[in-house]
Structure 1
Amino acid sequence: MVQDSAVVALTGVRRVYGDGESRVAALDGVTLEFSAGSFTAVMGPSGSGKSTLLQCAAGLDQVDEGRVRLAGVDPRGMSETALTRLRRERIGFVFQSFNLLPTLTARQNVELPLQLAKKPPRPAEVDRVLAELGLAARAAHLPSELSGGQQQRVAIARALVTRPQVLFADEPTGALDSRTSREVLALLRRIVAEHGQTIIMVTHDPVAASYAGRVVFLADGRVVDELANPTVDAVAARMAALEPADDEPTGTGHGHGHLEEAAAC
């Protein structure tokens, strides 16, 4: 049963790719809830269904069976125009690649979602988001003039400027060094604690997962474990137990490209 506080909920979700002998259930009866103000990490071996889960939960891919509730609505059956509006106004996305427009300043990149939604950017609101992410002094700089960590902060600011109900993060620290990764993860955790932001993050990194309040583990398209208040050692131990032997297949290969392309709409 879906709770009222669930910003995102999946009930009995199945997503199948391929036909005949190549048919693979990327998600196989997944039921999960993500409550308001929660920070959840999703982990699993390669091919476990992590990216497919993010795609279906974010309304970027249709499920074959089951139901998804996203920000209070069911994306199934919505027109592409309505889905695009939903993604622009109520959902934020952050990826491993920063996806900043190189000819726009940090401030202009942050303002872009508002302009796409035909909402005139309010300078005070943009200033607030930039300051909160430690970018006030870098607002007039181009992405090429920023460090990797600063570029990811701009990407996070861009995702948050519309005040989304949920922020989906796909390997957000994958392109960063360890020190910068910790800074970005601490920032995400602070946004959850201070502003009640809901974050769902796919990661392969036990250190990244330890910043979340809950870790959900997938294997072969199914939820196989959960861990509350995770530590690095506990996450690493669970992941080690889930990793397939070297001679086993590693899954469907569906992943980041489709997610980023659809989210850019």
Structure 2
Amino acid sequence: MTTAMVALHDLRMEYTAGRGRVTALDGVTVGLPAGTFTAVMGPSGSGKSTLLHCAAGLDRPSSGEVVLDGVRLSELDETGLTILRRERVGFVFQAFNLISSLTAAQNVALPARLAGRRVAPEEVAAALGRVGLADRSGHRPVELSGGEQQRVAIARALLTGPSVLFADEPTGALDATTSRQVLALLRGLVDERRQTIVMVTHDPVAAVADEILLLTDGRLVDRLTATSAESIAARMAAVEATC
């Protein structure tokens, strides 16, 4: 666990719901090596997004430990968590969250500038170049396709050189062809730049990942490697049939 870029140890998350308690994560322990692509899958309500939010320092678990790039998140106060997320973590979501009045380049630079960091134009250009949009830097979101807008969001997440890129359903708003293109881009970031990626998805084309973590009722029930989209779909169907 100590050599993992992201390490979760006996992670539990419980919520109050009415007069009862809901267990979203139930003792998850797993280590994710640096430079790998991990997909987190499972039925609705299985704890996928909760796991990602805890691993990224967005939420604090009820118990257990998260270690991200050698840092124990339980030892950080809220300011420390904010700094860690700003400097070591990148986020990509289903919603592109781009500002319509800003160009692609301005959208990429915006979070860093809001954090008080000066961003050189060359840094922004390099980030857009990494996602294949070097020639679209001056375009506004309305002038970009859905896939291109998600690429801008990925470039924005990569600007600070994060240790880990967390993606929550990044292809959920895209058609099948564009989804494959975005996943191929993420795969390339791992293969060519040794970027560590943790992605929550429901799409079996996540077979491009190095490993798939399968959750059910907040528990890690399987770890799949070197598998096909068809095998993933079959395994998911089997799991859902037992829920």
TM-score by length of 1: 0.88
Q: How does 1:58-73 map to 2 (within 5 A)?
A: 58-73=56-71
Matched, 1:120 2:127: no
Distance 1:127 1:238, change over 3 A: same
The equivalent of 2:150 in structure 1 is 152
**In structure 2, the residue corresponding to 1:3 is in which secondary structure?**
coil
Q: How does 1:1-265 map to 2 (within 5 A)?
A: 2-4=1-3, 6-18=4-16, 22-207=20-205, 209-244=206-241
**In structure 1, the residue corresponding to 2:38 is in which secondary structure?**
strand
Measured in 2, the distance between the counterparts of 1:229 and 1:124 equals 38
* Runs of 4 or more consecutive aligned structure 1 residues displaced over 3 Å after TM superposition: none
Per-residue deviation at 1:40?
A: 0.4
Contact kept in structure 2, 1:48 and 1:221, CA below 8 Å: yes
Measured in 2, the distance between the counterparts of 1:119 and 1:65 equals 34
Distance 1:136 1:49, change over 3 A: same
TM-score by length of 2: 0.96
**In structure 2, the residue corresponding to 1:23 is in which secondary structure?**
strand
**In structure 1, the residue corresponding to 2:142 is in which secondary structure?**
helix
The equivalent of 1:262 in structure 2 is none
Contact kept in structure 1, 2:2 and 2:70, CA below 8 Å: no
Per-residue deviation at 1:134?
A: 1.5
Identity %: 60
Per-residue deviation at 1:19?
A: 5.7
Distance 1:40 1:158, change over 3 A: same
Contact kept in structure 2, 1:85 and 1:117, CA below 8 Å: no
Measured in 2, the distance between the counterparts of 1:35 and 1:173 equals 23
When structure 1 is superposed on structure 2, of 71-80 and 189-198 the one drifting more is 71-80
Q: Structure 2: where are the runs of 5+ without partners?
A: none
Per-residue deviation at 1:38?
A: 0.5
Measured in 2, the distance between the counterparts of 1:234 and 1:214 equals 13
Measured in 2, the distance between the counterparts of 1:244 and 1:92 equals 35
Q: Alpha carbon RMSD of aligned pairs, Å?
A: 1.4
- The one-letter code sitting in structure 2 at the alignment partner of 1:192 is V
Per-residue deviation at 1:20?
A: 7.6
The equivalent of 1:251 in structure 2 is none
**In structure 2, the residue corresponding to 1:59 is in which secondary structure?**
coil
Measured in 2, the distance between the counterparts of 1:102 and 1:75 equals 34
Measured in 1, the distance between the counterparts of 2:51 and 2:217 equals 12
**In structure 2, the residue corresponding to 1:179 is in which secondary structure?**
helix
